[in-house]
Structure 1
Amino acid sequence: MILCHAVTATVLLFHRIDRRAAALLLPYLCWAAFAAPLNWWIRVENG
């Protein structure tokens, strides 16, 4: 979850400098947002 916040902050800061750079980080943000609950679920299921 901390990673999602860090990437979001990076996207917002990059947006001020270069919109394309911020846009290129959006797929990574989506992946991090998907991977965080997936990792949590795997950890819960495996004990």
Structure 2
Amino acid sequence: VNFWGYSTVNFFSPMMRYSASGIKNGGHDAINEFKFLVREAHKRGIE
């Protein structure tokens, strides 16, 4: 059992529990939230 929540299986995958919306709507809100973050970062020159 991994008590720290750390796993190297999907190292670069966003974790639903870190999103503002959590796992509501099967995680779709969390995915949209992450996409929005990436778009806003790119607008500001952050890659």
Report if TM-score (shorter chain) is over 0.5. no
The TM-score with structure 1 as length reference comes to: 0.38
Whichever structure has more helix as a proportion of its residues is: 1
The TM-score with structure 2 as length reference comes to: 0.38
Higher RCO, Cα 8 Å, sep 6+ = 1
